[in-house]
Structure 1
Amino acid sequence: MVLIWLIIGAVAAGQRGYFSDSDQNCSSLATVAVTVVAGPLNYAGVNPQVECEVPQPSG
């Protein structure tokens, strides 16, 4: 059951073009992960978006 849930989420992420996005950063990778975990909820109007920044080393 969990596998089917995640497959549906992966299909939704693919339909939104998240896997072909050339800009791979913290926000885009986190958005893909949350979309996959949301599974079928994506088709019920959920559109998860994650904003994050990776800390830069001081120097």
Structure 2
Amino acid sequence: MRRIVLVGLVLWLVAGVAAAAKRDYFTGAPADCDRVTTIAATALAGPLNYVGADPNVSC
């Protein structure tokens, strides 16, 4: 059971990182507080990014 939860969590985060990459958050200007927190929020939102979530965080 624990393995299933772990695999689900990893897939959730991979979907979030893929969404951040699709939005070009990893290119451009050097990382600042706003960019880093937006990338983290996008990664944590996972597949919700593909159904309309667009987390933007400012410090």
Band of TM-score, shorter chain:
0.7 to 0.9
SS of alignment partner, residue 49 of structure 2: helix
Q: How many residues align?
A: 52
Residue ranges of structure 1 left out of the alignment (5+ in a row): 53-59
Deviation at 1:21, TM superposition (A): 2.8
Higher Cα Rg, which structure: 1
Residue ranges of structure 2 left out of the alignment (5+ in a row): 1-7
TM-score by length of 1: 0.84
Q: In proportion to residue count, which structure has more helix?
A: 2
The equivalences for 1:1-59 within 5 A come to 1-52=8-59
Deviation at 1:20, TM superposition (A): 0.8
